[in-house]
Structure 1
Amino acid sequence: MTRHEGRLGALAEIDTAAAELVDRMVGLSIRGLPPGYVNGEFVFTRRGRREADGRWAAVPEGRSVRYSAIVALGVAPLPLDLQRAALAGDTVLDLVGNLISGLPAVSNLGDAALIAWAAAESGHQELPRALSRLAELEAATKPGDPVYTVEVSWALAAVVAAHRVLGDAHDLGARMEHAGDRLLAGLGDDRLYRHVIGPASWYRAHVGCFADQVYPLQALARLHAHTGHEAAARAAEQIAAGICAAQGAQGQWWWHYDARTGGVVEGYPVYSVHQLSMAPMALLDLADAGGTSYMKEIALGLSWMTSRPEVDDELIVEELDLTWRKAARDDPKKIVRGVRAVATAINQGSRIAMLDRIYPPLAVDHECRPYELGWLLYAWRFALPRDTAGTKE
């Protein structure tokens, strides 16, 4: 597939400037990943630091299995030479192999699901081992226990991807059905997804963040594309319609929602990864599954990265090959989020508008986490950067 076909080509038909931005960002992501790749895994973040001369530097901090797995998903579709460019000489099989070797120490369901998903999409021979660890962690969750919506979504995406490769081996057919039912049950009669499926704190039980919508939407769309699951298709369409109806006038994908109504509880921060990667990724998967196309909303969200009302700082930093993480309120204790969560728990639709004046969205978070670039590559897969041929080797 050439760079003028598929997702990038469809975007170009709607908005040439948005397509040019994506083309630019794919190249930036491939260049921006190696500085965060250390000894076969990715750092947690590259944190911005002002140097004496006033320029920005990005300092690597920590390590992250989760972000390493997401980068593996993003890099997997690339030709081998671009895989090596993104992974400082390694291939995606090297990265996935490192992740699988560390599975005994992985205790988080979401991390295990992402590793299994990456193993399936990269064609790694140790996929059965990854699926086994995922099953162990799923079995450790008792019926009725609270589980994070995002992690349940990743588990479904993982078994769908594995079923495409292995069929019903390893009981994958039954696992896929169970995972789909579990995620659909979590939606219930709500308009959107809550952060937690099961019991949660009363004042936040009704709240779901943007990730809590994107990942179920993606997983359910993929389940429908693979099996024709009609309930999954209906739920995916409902979530997509909900987040697109709530999208800001300048393309903002807002942060927190009232799952009961679909209304916005708190809009900020607005994250670069939501605008460039996560919203396009899920909505394009829905379209690929035969669902509604939201390309205009995708293009509008992309445009926020280059023209936004909140902050004047450039969020795309070419000299460091990264994007700054978010535009946020100057509210380090997240007071606005907490107050509005409580207010909407008591009275649906309550806004407490004076908080917008007290804490305007004027701050930029100067860091970049590797998953932000990984999801960008995954969302726009096959959109090879301009002037880069890419070889299969």
Structure 2
Amino acid sequence: MPFGASKIIRQLLEDRSQWTDFRAQDLGMLLTGIVAQAAEGRTELVHHAAPLFNFLNESYTTESGLFCDTATGYRRRFASFAAQTVLAFACYSYGEFDGDAEAIELANACVRRLIALQGRQGEWPWLFDAERGEVVDFYEVYSVHQYGMAPALLEIAERHNVEGARDALVRGFTWILGENQLKRSMLLPPLQMSYRSQVRQSEMHARSRGMFRAVANAYLDRKAQLISPAKLALRAECRSYELGWILWSFGERSDLPQLTQNLVFSRALR
């Protein structure tokens, strides 16, 4: 790790008054990174692992099983799918490393709720009201969640006997192969890229309307629904980290040939 980055991380970890500023993904990646380093014998930061997990448990958990996005503040209850994935993954990592059954169960509870909220064609919703444990906006539905983040999390959940984890993984992945609302493959073999998401046409260039909708759904106790495919569009972007996620999630897997050996991938190599 570059010295400058290492110095900043140490300062963040040592000044616990700053921890309340952590977004869910900040906290989850820090905890996961510390555990990963410790597992490889680099233990200089491992003494922060237990306090970080305790902070996570005290400040980001809910009775619904979903995680909050922040420790305090007005947007605490509004947490994305990525926030759920990163914090649940961190709990699994810490729980397995330290033998902490409570951490494992926090992750399991989150995964069970996510599976219950998965869309009818395998969509992983974008935004949740963590306090109610409900979806407040399905869109955008991101390809990286379908083929990268969710599979990484669900592989561990399956190891911990979470019912439905493998089926949810497969349903989510086949979404990108064309079993989705637009009936379009999200993969572009000639370019070795993928479409970023399926998004509301009216919100292709502005997300403020979506945030107002999410807040209204939360405070009016409403559940978000999928909308008509006629009102959706493809976001024609691809970011490098998205392709990294699919490689990380499936690079060493051989137990899902119906996914990893799909013809769309072999065509990309021709």
Instruction: Give the TM interval when normalised to the shorter protein.
Output: 0.7 to 0.9
TM-score, with length taken from structure 1: 0.59
In 1, the alpha carbon distance for the partners of 2:126 and 2:236 equals 18
Q: Which sections of structure 1, spanning at least 5 residues, go unmatched? A: 1-99, 107-129, 387-393
- Structure-2 residue corresponding to 1:231: 102
Is 2:70 the partner of 1:196?
Answer: yes
Letter of the structure 2 residue corresponding to residue 255 of structure 1: W
Is 2:256 the partner of 1:381?
Answer: no
Letter of the structure 1 residue corresponding to residue 52 of structure 2: A
- Structure-2 residue corresponding to 1:301: 172
Q: Note the 1:304-315 alignment, pairs <5 A.
A: 304-315=175-186
Instruction: Indicate the structure (1 or 2) with the bigger Cα radius of gyration.
Output: 1
Q: What is the root-mean-square deviation in Å for CA atoms of aligned residues?
A: 2.5
Letter of the structure 2 residue corresponding to residue 175 of structure 1: H
- Structure-1 residue corresponding to 2:196: 325
- Structure-1 residue corresponding to 2:111: 240
Is 2:44 the partner of 1:170?
Answer: yes
In 2, the alpha carbon distance for the partners of 1:287 and 1:161 equals 20
1:367 maps to which of 211, 219, 237: 237
- The percentage of counterpart residues that share the same residue type is 23
In 2, the alpha carbon distance for the partners of 1:318 and 1:212 equals 29
2:124 maps to which of 249, 253, 260: 253
In 1, the alpha carbon distance for the partners of 2:231 and 2:28 equals 30
Q: Deviations over 1:228-247 (max 9, x none)?
A: 11110110011000110000
In 2, the alpha carbon distance for the partners of 1:216 and 1:241 equals 14
In 2, the alpha carbon distance for the partners of 1:313 and 1:234 equals 37
In 2, the alpha carbon distance for the partners of 1:277 and 1:235 equals 21
Report the 3-state secondary structure (helix = DSSP H, G, I; strand = E; otherwise coil) of the residue aligned with 1:364.
Answer: strand
Q: Deviations over 1:251-270 (max 9, x none)?
A: 00110111012111000111
User: Relative CO higher for 1 or 2, CA cutoff 8 Å, sep ≥ 6?
Assistant: 1
Q: Which sections of structure 2, spanning at least 5 residues, go unmatched? A: 255-259, 262-270
In structure 2, the CA distance between the partners of 1:144 and 1:275, relative to structure 1 (3 Å rule), is closer
Report the 3-state secondary structure (helix = DSSP H, G, I; strand = E; otherwise coil) of the residue aligned with 1:249.
Answer: coil
Runs of 4+ aligned residues of structure 1 deviating over 3 Å after TM superposition are 383-386
TM-score, with length taken from structure 2: 0.84
Q: How many correspondences in the alignment?
A: 252
CA-CA distance at 1:207 after TM superposition? 1.0
Q: Note the 1:85-104 alignment, pairs <5 A.
A: 100-101=1-2, 104=4
In 1, the alpha carbon distance for the partners of 2:40 and 2:177 equals 39
